Amino acid sequence: MILYPLPACELTAYGGKVYVVPYRFSDLVDLERLTELLESFSAIAGVAVAIFDPDDNILIAAGWQEICTRFHRVSPVTAPRCRESDAWIKNELHAEAGKGYRCRNGLLDYACPIVIEDVHLATLFIGQFLKEPPDEDFFRQQAAVCGFDERSYMEALYKVPIISEENVKAGLRFIAGLAKILAYMGLERLRSLNIAEEARKSETALQKNQERYRAFIDSTMDVVFLKDEEFRYMMVNKSLAVLFGRSEEEILGKTDYDFMPANYAEACRNSDLRAIRAGCVTVQEETLGNRIFETRKYPVVLDNGRTGLGGYIRDITEKRQLEEQVLQTSKLESLGKLAGGIAHEFNNLLTGIIGYTQLIMQRRAADSPVTTDLNQVLQLGNRASELTRQLLAFSRSQAVLPKVLDINDIVGKTLKMIKHLIGEDIELEFMQDSNLGNVEIDPGQIEQVLMNLALNSRDAMPDGGRLVIETMNVTLDREFVAGHAGSREGSFVMLSVTDSGSGMDRETLEHVFEPFFTTKEVGQGTGLGLAMVYGIVKQHRGCIYVDSTPGEGTTFSIYFPRADEDVEGMEADIDAAEAPAGAETILLVEDEEQLRVLIERILRERGYKVYVAACPSEAEMLFEKHSGEIDLLLTDMIMPEYDGRTLYNRLSERVAGLKVLFMSGYVATIPGGTGYNFIQKPFMPDELSRKVRSVLDDH
């Protein structure tokens, strides 16, 4: 017998109402055992007994009379009368006591509904009997009409029992009552089984939910826990067990004092009490060893109605380190802007100081005492100029002359200078990648980077040591970028400088790239060397990181983006002794009056005709007035109204092929992409003359 799961079915209740119930009569009663009982009853009473379901399916049949099975239900004449009788009984059932019907084939049938909780589950049938001796003439005539063998038919008729109506109804009540008792028992058993099944399903679902919840909290890297009102651990995840090197069983039921150091357990207890008193989530940071943790704790109402404590602990060491890196980068960016602005203004002043000094020197005899003093002024000006170049490098505002090249070539050419710089007591080694990719960088500035890093390493190894320069192709992935602020994914060329020197502590590392920060004694350094290195690297779209431990040396790792282009040829330097003159016409545009006067004087003394403008709009008017006369535009880059590049673009639209020489003490890149048409402030008068001549002659 099927008990579960049960399909829903529509059954007609006693009285005509339709119910949808999850069971049938056959689901409630052991039909095999009931069949045995009804067969015994049929044998004793001599009547046919059957039970039908509401869909007219025979569930049980016992003691059927031969006259029905052999004759009435197979003859085309009498079979419809049998079905008519069945239909009448089904349609006229309205009393549990049952109702009788004389079949047109001559026999009596009785039936009653089996109703369980107002639902008509089945129909009980007793029939195929007579209440009095049969009318033999009726049956002989029926045999003749239907073509039955009269003798056999009459023998079957004489086997039909003759039972009084009272006895039939009594039997009917007995069987119906028995069937109902069995059905009710089955219904209760079914309900018990279904309740048990629902309980089992609920328990299984609860267990699965618990397993999912457990898998969830065990999969997180955060430490998750729940404590009771006595601060004993009721629940912990694997991360907590791993954190303290214990199994979960060793922690459950214990307090912090049972497995933590006393001072840490006391701190945890105090934070637990604060969370309970606060009545809300409390957040605090704690340090355990060299790791930083963020702890969140909050009150939890337990099953017993008391207040426990829940919480989780997250390792935020990497987060704090990244925040520090971002803060450091932001601080360096701000310092860079400040340094660049100062250098820009200072360069304008130095251009005038150096320029006028050289002009005075050119008018004095070489052995004049004044010339000697002016030479000192010039040297001091050059030293100041070097200082501004370092500031500009840090602020990424230094002029860049980028070329596609192999860093191995630059390092190779610089090794001799580095060796001379660091001394004989320091071993120098160059480990180069023979298949190194190309990069687009300014070779002169990269030499500055190498020289400054070498100087930094030399100072860290006063008693000698080892300096290793290494190049390598690298690919920065997502994991690297996540741990290194300012980096990005992609293909890079790495240039690293490693020394075996004294190293740096964490506090020093936090300030190592800041301008004017130095650990040297007063007068031993400006503190701009590493700041300049940082600025140059950033200006070349690279990134730089330092790894150092006190007593174990330092490594500076620089990453430059790889270039797909081939290596460019190196241009020859212009002869420094040459200071040519000319007769062309130059349009000079400079907003600083003292510089404008100085540059005009230098150019006129070299034979050039000069038109002077203090701003771009004035330059446009002069250019329009002297159209076709201007041979060269000499313009500052940063000016009121708009910059020198915009001015050149507007003028070159009027005269194709207009030659230009840009000048500035504060630019990030050279206009036009090369250094051919640019001169960096401050400059010497002779340097300006050579550059002007070179641009005019297209050198």
Q: Write down all domains in the chain, each with its CATH number in brackets.
A: 9-193 (3.30.450), 220-315 (3.30.450.20), 322-391 (1.10.287), 403-563 (3.30.565.10), 585-696 (3.40.50.2300)
> Residues of the chain with pLDDT > 90: what percent?
18
Contacts of 53 (CB under 8 A, 6+ apart): 24, 25, 26, 59, 121, 122, 123
Centroid of chain to Cα 12? 59
Q: How confident is the model at residue 531, as a pLDDT?
A: 76
Q: How confident is the model at residue 570, as a pLDDT?
A: 44
Q: How confident is the model at residue 555, as a pLDDT?
A: 93
Contacts of 535 (CB under 8 A, 6+ apart): 336, 392, 393, 394, 395, 396, 398
> In angstroms, what CA-CA distances link 563 with 5, 267, 403, 674, 678?
71, 55, 10, 17, 24
Q: Using CA atoms, how far apart are residues 223 and 212, in angstroms rounded to an integer?
A: 17
- Can you list the positions of beta strands (E) in 139-253? 223-227, 233-236
- Would you put residue 369 in left (φ > 0), alpha (ψ -120 to 50) or beta? alpha
Q: How confident is the model at residue 9, as a pLDDT?
A: 52
Amino acid letter, residue 394:
F
Q: Using CA atoms, how far apart are residues 495 and 450, in angstroms rounded to an integer?
A: 9
Token pair of 293, please? Answer: 């943790």
- Count of other CB atoms within 10 angstroms of residue 94: 12
pLDDT at 388 over 80: no
Mean pLDDT check: name the lowest of 77-86, 307-316, 372-381.
372-381
CA nearest neighbour of 223 among 151, 297, 305: 297
Q: Where are the alpha helices (DSSP H) in 54-164?
A: 66, 79-92, 136-146, 150-158
Round the average pLDDT of the chain to a whole number and report it.
79
Q: How confident is the model at residue 571, as a pLDDT?
A: 45
Query: Which tens digits make up the pLDDT trace of 625-642?
Result: 987 889 999 998 888 888
pLDDT at 92 over 90: no
pLDDT at 616 over 90: yes
Q: What pairing do the DSSP bridges indicate for beta strands 465-476 and 438-441?
A: unpaired
pLDDT at 4 over 60: no
Secondary structure of 427-488 in the HEC alphabet? EEEEECCCCCCEEEECHHHHHHHHHHHHHHHHHHCCCCEEEEEEEEEEEECHHHHHHCCCCC
pLDDT at 669 over 80: no
557 pLDDT band, cuts 50/70/90, is very high
- Average pLDDT (278-295) is 81
117 pLDDT band, cuts 50/70/90, is confident
673: which DSSP letter? G
284: β partners: 295
Q: Using CA atoms, how far apart are residues 263 and 687, in angstroms rounded to an integer?
A: 71
pLDDT at 19 over 90: no
- Count of other CB atoms within 10 angstroms of residue 603: 24
CA nearest neighbour of 237 among 157, 310, 135: 310
- Count of other CB atoms within 10 angstroms of residue 614: 16
Q: Using CA atoms, how far apart are residues 518 and 528, in angstroms rounded to an integer?
A: 8
63: which DSSP letter? -
Residue 682: asked if its preceding bond is cis (omega within 30°), the reply is yes
67: which DSSP letter? I
H or E segment to which residue 383 belongs: helix 369-394
Token pair of 179, please? Answer: 């069937």
* More confident site: 218 or 486: 486
Query: Which tens digits make up the pLDDT trace of 458-503?
Result: 888 988 899 999 999 999 998 888 888 778 899 999 999 999 998 8
Q: Using CA atoms, how far apart are residues 50 and 40, in angstroms rounded to an integer?
A: 13
Q: How confident is the model at residue 554, as a pLDDT?
A: 92
Concatenate the DSSP letters of all residues of 68-98 into one string: IIIIITTSTTTHHHHHHHHHHHHHH---TT-
Q: How confident is the model at residue 524, as a pLDDT?
A: 44
Contacts of 617 (CB under 8 A, 6+ apart): 641
Amino acid letter, residue 428:
L
- Would you put residue 253 in left (φ > 0), alpha (ψ -120 to 50) or beta? left
- Average pLDDT (567-593) is 69
pLDDT at 209 over 80: no
Q: How confident is the model at residue 682, as a pLDDT?
A: 78
Token pair of 625, please? Answer: 């007035």
Q: Using CA atoms, how far apart are residues 217 and 235, in angstroms rounded to an integer?
A: 10
Q: Using CA atoms, how far apart are residues 350 and 379, in angstroms rounded to an integer?
A: 12
- Average pLDDT (271-289) is 84
Amino acid letter, residue 81:
R
Work out the end-to-end distance of the chain between its first and last CA atoms, rounded to an integer number of angstroms.
106
Q: How confident is the model at residue 419, as a pLDDT?
A: 86
Token pair of 395, please? Answer: 């602020």
Q: How confident is the model at residue 499, as a pLDDT?
A: 93
Query: Which tens digits make up the pLDDT trace of 327-373?
Result: 666 665 665 566 556 666 666 677 767 777 777 776 666 666 777 66
152 pLDDT band, cuts 50/70/90, is very high
- Average pLDDT (372-398) is 60
pLDDT at 681 over 80: no
Q: Using CA atoms, how far apart are residues 398 and 392, in angstroms rounded to an integer?
A: 5
pLDDT at 190 over 90: no
Backbone φ and ψ for 472, nearest 5 degrees, come out as -165, 145
Q: What pairing do the DSSP bridges indicate for beta strands 403-405 and 438-441?
A: antiparallel
Token pair of 261, please? Answer: 């150091």
Most confidently predicted of 541-545, 563-567, 662-666, 679-683: 541-545
* More confident site: 165 or 647: 647
